[in-house]
Amino acid sequence: MTVRALVFDAYGTLYDVQSVRGVATELCGEKGELITQLWRLKQLEYTWLGALMGTKDDFGALTRASLEFALEAAGVAADPKICERLMTKYLDLDLYPEARLALDALAGAKLAILSNGSQKMLDALVKASGVEPLFADVISVDRAKSFKPDPRCYALVEPALGIAKHEVLFVSSNGFDVAGAKAFGFKVAWIERGGPTASPASSAIGPTEIYRLLRGRAEKLGPGADFRIKALTDLPEVVKRSR
């Protein structure tokens, strides 16, 4: 396999979705952590529900709906001022610490993003983080009118970049995305954010631990990744090995 392009998921892969925690805690006190985890879990669920229903809502609308769900589930009123502050943070999520270094090291390859994010959200995100010039394209699933792991979303890459799918290395931290991209025909690198998730000693665990147990493990349904990496800075070696 010769890798001619690396295509990255955005949320949870390049950008830390947990970086909303600070704002959530500022606005909602001790319930901020619970809201952070419920929000992300429900956001993912709504993309799958939206894809199956053929919804016309984009990721921004689903993100707002999932935030309101999380707030109300935690017993916090979905006040418009709270929602706007948290939604604004989604346009300026923190890059993972090693992301810029890794992207710079991969500059010899064609780089792109393929994300469930709306085009408006993604454009704001890459601009705010200063990495916009590094990407040949920032591809929103808006173009497919669905959400990952619908194969139509992964099919957006070839016409956008002019590169065959067997020459693409897709990078994601999300197990469902790994399975979907691999089933489509990409080579896939799964980044294990936070490292292996140990089983808890008892059921007495908090929202962060529940989130990690659900989202930090490889899926049992669907194909697995070709490569497992600990950090984005492992990718240059993966590319080298693929030549």
For the annotated catalytic residues, the residue numbers are 9
Q: How many CA atoms lie within 13 A of 226 on its CB side?
A: 21
The DSSP 8-state label assigned to residue 105 in this structure reads H
CB within 8 Å of 27: residues ≥ 6 apart: 82, 85, 86
Give Cα separations from 138 to 8, 17, 88, 157, 234 (angstroms).
Answer: 9, 18, 20, 10, 22
Q: How far apart are CA 170 and CA 190, in angstroms?
A: 8
Specify the pairing of strand 94-95 against strand 15-16: antiparallel
Picking from 197, 195, 202, 137, the residue whose alpha carbon sits closest to that of residue 163 is: 137
